[in-house]
């Protein structure tokens, strides 16, 4: 049921007494973990907490990536988990700038040249890792384009390093096929 399609329900909700609205709101919030975390962040935390969250996730990315073996399956698993944590960070904080900084850092740290031999055939995990890496880079690029030009300027050098990684010999074909630019 979509609330905008039922204007009478919308008016009935706004007509409820404040105490009853609060009770219903708290019940609804309790059912959604991300909404609960977002409201906690928005109402009870400040800029210092955002920086603390960002630095904790930054360190977690470095710790988890350093422990990776030269194995595409493990790399892909860790990459997906960490990428999910960056997405969760954005859903809670709604801070596009820190999300993009974290995602660029993650993409720069993830080892994508996990297979031996220049002409060796891809294993299924190598191929999945390359595709996931390039798609994530493309998604970050689209968000980068939506940033204010001052923020783009601050991230430009890091993003160009990331794009040069995406155009390394083993990834270039996929990057080009997906329309990823070579530099910003």
Report the pLDDT averaged over residues 78-88: 97
Residue 150 forms part of a structural domain:
yes
pLDDT in tens, 98-141: 999 999 999 999 998 765 544 445 578 888 999 999 999 999 99
Residue 35 forms part of a structural domain:
no
Q: Are 146 and 184 in contact (CB under 8 A)?
A: no
**Residue 8: its pLDDT value, please?**
86
For residues 69 and 168, what is the distance between their CA atoms, to the nearest angstrom? Answer: 20
**Residue 119: its pLDDT value, please?**
43
**Residue 141: its pLDDT value, please?**
97
Residue 69 forms part of a structural domain:
yes
For residues 141 and 57, what is the distance between their CA atoms, to the nearest angstrom? Answer: 21
Pick the residue with more confidence: 86 or 28? Answer: 86
**Residue 125: its pLDDT value, please?**
86
Count of domains for the chain: 1
Compute the chain's Rg from CA coordinates: 21
- Rounded to the nearest 10 degrees, the angle between the axes of helix 18-30 and helix 33-44 is 120
What residue numbers bound the domain in which 112 lies? 46-177
Residue 1 forms part of a structural domain:
no
For residues 80 and 83, what is the distance between their CA atoms, to the nearest angstrom? Answer: 5
Neighbours of 181 (CB within 10 A): 15
- Rounded to the nearest 10 degrees, the angle between the axes of helix 72-93 and helix 96-109 is 170
Residue 32 forms part of a structural domain:
no
Q: Supply the DSSP symbol for 17.
A: -
Residue 90 forms part of a structural domain:
yes
pLDDT in tens, 3-49: 677 888 888 888 989 999 899 888 988 999 999 999 999 999 999 99
Residue 29 forms part of a structural domain:
no
**Residue 73: its pLDDT value, please?**
87
- Non-local CB neighbours of 92 within 8 Å, separated by 6+ positions: 34, 37, 38, 41, 53
pLDDT in tens, 151-175: 999 999 999 999 999 999 889 999 9
Residue 40 forms part of a structural domain:
no
């Amino acid at each position: 049921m979509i609330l905008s399609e039922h204007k009478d329900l919308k008016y009935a909700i706004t007509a409820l007494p404040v105490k009853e609205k609060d009770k219903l709101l708290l019940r609804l919030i309790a059912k959604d973990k991300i909404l609960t975390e977002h409201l906690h962040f928005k109402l009870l935390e400040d800029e210092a907490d955002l920086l603390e969250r960002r630095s904790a996730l930054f360190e977690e990315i470095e710790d988890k990536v350093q422990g990776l073996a030269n194995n595409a399956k493990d790399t892909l698993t860790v990459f997906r988990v960490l990428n999910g944590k960056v997405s969760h960070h954005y859903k809670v904080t709604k801070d596009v700038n820190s999300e993009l900084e974290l995602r660029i850092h993650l993409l720069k740290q993830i080892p994508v040249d996990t297979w031996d031999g220049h002409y060796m055939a891809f294993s299924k995990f190598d191929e999945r890792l390359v595709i996931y890496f390039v798609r994530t880079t493309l998604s970050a690029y689209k968000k980068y384009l939506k940033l204010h030009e001052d923020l783009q300027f601050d991230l430009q050098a890091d993003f160009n390093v990331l794009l040069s990684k995406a155009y390394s010999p083993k990834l270039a074909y996929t990057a080009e096929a997906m329309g990823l630019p070579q530099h910003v």
